[in-house]
Amino acid sequence: MAVKFPSKGRTALVALLLKTKGGQSAVARQLSDLGAKVTQPSVGAWASGDARPEPVLREVLEKVYGIPAHDWTTRDERRLLDRVASKTEAA
């Protein structure tokens, strides 16, 4: 089955989970302790690529774990942003 949301953010999260004692549950707990409403199934969905964190949680993940918020953007989304930027800069 194909990953719905392939991204550098997903890859970085998977790497983080592999070296984090307690894995998905530990990450969810740490984020929840900071005030973010995150569950283990949510972290699991992000890691599998079935879902992505909401934009504010991407910022939280950047601050807590160093995963850049923009790394959750897919390749297709990045291409669109680059196309728009090149056309607006040329105008």
DSSP assignment of 42-75: HHHHHHHTS----HHHHHHHHHHH---GGGGS-H
- Cα gap 58→53, rounded to integer Å: 6
pLDDT higher than threshold 70 for residue 91: no
Per-residue pLDDT tens over the stretch 57-79: 999 999 999 999 999 999 999 99
pLDDT higher than threshold 90 for residue 2: no
Mean pLDDT of 4-8: 95
pTM > 0.85: yes
Q: What share of the chain is helix, strand, coil (3-state, %, to 5)?
A: 70, 0, 30
Per-residue pLDDT tens over the stretch 33-53: 999 999 999 999 999 999 999
